Amino acid sequence: MNLYELTDEYLRLQDRLETEAEDNDGAVSDDLLSELVNAEGNVNDKIESCAKVIKNLEAERSAVGEEIARLDKKQVSLDKNIERLKKAVVGAMERLGAQKVKTPLFTIYPRENVSVAFEDEKKLPREFCASEVVTKYKPDRVAMRKYIQAGGEILGVWLVKSKSLQIR
């Protein structure tokens, strides 16, 4: 049975126990008590199993994060190797005076690029600067929560209570 079914079974047995106790001046059968204790144990076992799965998933998520960081470093390293090799090939072709190298797989040639470099972007004349204004508004949830909890009202905003699971 899944957790939902086990919980329903436990609650059904608890209702039976209350009904039987009311009908018999507080007396209940040993069989019903035994079923209830067994059902409670099953629910607790299932909850513990769920907690174990949650912990495993959290560990896996952490491992994925570490793997992403490792792969990011590897990508940076590969980018540096690619640049180093490209510079080495261009240097070799320049020393040999080769404009182009053709092979069955590739045609390899250096291409001249022109880019702009500058010392201090703050010292550039305005006519050579594009304006970029980015204003992004995002709700300050903490400030809104504090304001509402202090008795304030904000049109279209309300507090929502929820529960989160803590596993230690």
What is the percent of the chain with per-residue pLDDT over 90, rounded to a whole number? 69
Buried b (16+ CB within 10 A) or exposed e, 110-138: eeeeeeeeeeeeeeeeeeeeeeeeeeeee
pLDDT tens-digit readout, 93-116? 999 999 999 999 999 999 988 888
pLDDT of residue 84: 96
Q: What is the pLDDT of residues 10-43, one digit of tens each?
A: 999 999 989 988 888 888 889 988 998 999 999 9
From residue 66, give the alpha-carbon distance in Å to each of 59, 60, 114, 142: 11, 10, 39, 30
Q: Cα dihedral sign for 13, 14, 15, 21? A: positive
Identify the band that residue 83 occupies on the pLDDT scale cut at 50, 70 and 90. very high
Q: What is the C-alpha separation between 41 and 44, in angstroms, rounded? A: 5
* pLDDT tier, 1 (very low <50, low <70, confident <90, very high otherwise): confident
Rg, the chain, Cα only: 35
Structure confidence at residue 128 as a pLDDT band (50, 70, 90)? confident
Local confidence band at 132 (pLDDT 50, 70, 90 cut-offs):
confident
The pLDDT assigned to 168 comes to 72
Break the chain down into helix, strand, coil percent, rounded to 5. 60, 0, 35
What is the pairing mode between strands 107-108 and 101-102? antiparallel
How high does pLDDT run on average in the chain? 92
Q: Which of 16-25, 55-64, 68-77, 103-112 has the lowest mean pLDDT?
A: 16-25
Q: Give the whole-angstrom CA distance, residue 18 versus residue 28.
A: 9
In the DSSP assignment, the letter for residue 97 is T
